[in-house]
Every structure is written in C-alpha cells, then in structure tokens.
Amino acid sequence: MQNLITNYILHLADNSLILGQQNSAWTGHGPILEQDIALSNISLDLIGQARYLYQHAANLLNEADEKKVHTEDSLAYFRTDREYKNLLIVEQDNGDWGKTVLRQFLYSSFQNCQYRKLLDSSDAQLKAIAEKSLKEIAYHLRWSSEWVIRLGDGTEESHARMNLALADLWRFTGEFFIPSSYEDNLSLFFPCYDPQSLKEEWEDYAIKVLDEATLYTAANKKMMEETFMLKGGKEGKHTEKLGYILAEMQYLQRTYPETEW
C-alpha cells in the first residue's frame, strides 16, 4: 500500500530539488546583495525539503526491496531524466530576475495549496514534512508575491519584462492540475483529494496578485485563457532543458561514485 504513494513523493521531491538547483545559479549573480541572499536561502529551503522527501521515498522503496539499495543520493543522482517526475515549470530557464521571481511565485502559490492538502495525509511522515515545509513555503510565497507586484507595477521596463515572463511561463501552469497515473491512488492517502478545487483556490490567488501587479490586462487574460497547456513532466516526459540540468548536477557523482567531501 505504501508503495502506491512513492511515485507521488518522488514527484514532490523532484519539484523541490530541480527548482532549488535552478535558483542556486543566481548565487553570486543577484541584482542586489540582499536579494542574492534571499534567493539562495529559498534554494536551501527547497533542497532541504527535497532531502526529507527523498529519504522518505528511499525508506519506502527499501521496505519492498531486500537489497536496500535506495538512498536519497541514489534517487537524486542516479535517476535519468525519464525517471524524474518534476513539473515542467521548474526546469524552464531562469531568464532574467523577473522571470525567476514569476516562476517562484507560480510554483510557491501552487506548492502552498498542495502541501496544505498533505496535512490531511494518512502517511504520518509525509504529513510531518508538509507541516515543516509550509512555514518555508509561506515565506517563499510572500517574497515572490511582493516581487511580482513590485516589478509588474514598476517601471515601464520591469512591466514589459514581466509581461514577457508571464507569456513564457503561463503555459506550464495547467500541468499542476492534470493528474498523473500515480495520482489515481491518492484518495487512499488524502481524504477529499480534489484537483479541481485545488485549481480554483490557486487561480483565485494567482489572479489576485497578477491583478495587483497590473499584469492581469485584457490582453494577458486572453493569452491565459487561450494558451495550450503543456504537460508530461510528471510522467517523465521533459523538455530538453532537464537534460542539461541533470548533466551538471549529476556529473560528479556519476563520474566518481561514492565520492564524499
């Protein structure tokens, strides 16, 4: 029974790891010192969440496996891109500061809704991880919401860049609510699991912030309604970008397995 949830836990872990890895590329390159630190902190939070989730998944996988080969490291460093189950949005390019901040906003607002549902989980460990993570997520959401508003309702240039970022990223938000094959069993673990109500909750908040950021223009609204939503990440079908991210992240462990600091 527990193994039915393992893929879902890997999906959660992969989201956090890939986004943490991506954001960390800004370390040392942020537009201003305090924001460089803020985004690096967010990366650390995300990687921390990923670690807890991978450890949990490794334990569950080892329960069913005599040889007990799975660890957080083997899951992070030795799975191929086809085995990674992260959302497509987290593997998109960092782009400029506005795009990174918008990506964080779209993801954190979803993660907030998603993890609040995990608090109802019958899997005690997952529930504990969610509880701890929600405090971090609350801050990520607050930070990114404010930046979306500051940049959207900012100068002509920042507004233009945010418009471009929204046009780039909106197409990846549909995937949040399209259940993957391993989500069919989730009602066993989460009473009242309902992707549709999650969508309404998320959309209400996202649109409220985009509106305050003066980004919910008639043109953007039309774009958002008509955009074809991409999917596949949850099932291991990724854009080519994930290959580059994993190549860089996994290179050291794959070349020198069992290497340590």
Partner 1 sequence: MNKEWPLWEVFIRSRQGLDHKHAGSLHAVDAKMALENARDVYTRRQEGISIWVVESKHIHTSLPEESADLFEPAYDKIYRHPGFYDLPDELTHM
Q: Which residues bind partner 1 (CB under 8 A)?
A: 32-35, 37-38, 41, 142-143, 146, 150
Instruction: Provide the minimum distance between the beta carbon of 231 and partner 1 in the complex, in angstroms, as a whole number.
Output: 34
State the residue for tokens 């391993």: 182
Q: Judged by CB, which is closer to partner 1: 35, or 125?
A: 35
Instruction: Provide the minimum distance between the beta carbon of 36 and partner 1 in the complex, in angstroms, as a whole number.
Output: 10
70 dihedral zone (left: phi>0; alpha: psi -120 to 50; beta): beta
Q: Judged by CB, which is closer to partner 1: 142, or 208?
A: 142
Q: Judged by CB, which is closer to partner 1: 32, or 218?
A: 32
Q: Judged by CB, which is closer to partner 1: 97, or 202?
A: 97
Instruction: Provide the minimum distance between the beta carbon of 153 and partner 1 in the complex, in angstroms, as a whole number.
Output: 13
Q: Judged by CB, which is closer to partner 1: 32, or 192?
A: 32
Q: In 3D, which of 101, 195, 95, 185 has the Cα closest to residue 141? A: 101
Give the C-alpha separation, 252 to 69, whole Å. Answer: 20
Structure token digits, residue 148? 């979306």
Contact in structure between 181 and 114 (CB atoms under 8 Å):
no
Instruction: Provide the minimum distance between the beta carbon of 171 and partner 1 in the complex, in angstroms, as a whole number.
Output: 30
Q: Judged by CB, which is closer to partner 1: 36, or 96?
A: 36
Could you please report the per-residue DSSP string of 101-116?
A: HHHHHHHHHHHHHHHH
Instruction: Provide the minimum distance between the beta carbon of 35 and partner 1 in the complex, in angstroms, as a whole number.
Output: 8
Instruction: Provide the minimum distance between the beta carbon of 181 and partner 1 in the complex, in angstroms, as a whole number.
Output: 39
Contact in structure between 52 and 129 (CB atoms under 8 Å):
yes
Give the C-alpha separation, 103 to 106, whole Å. Answer: 5
Contact in structure between 92 and 172 (CB atoms under 8 Å):
yes
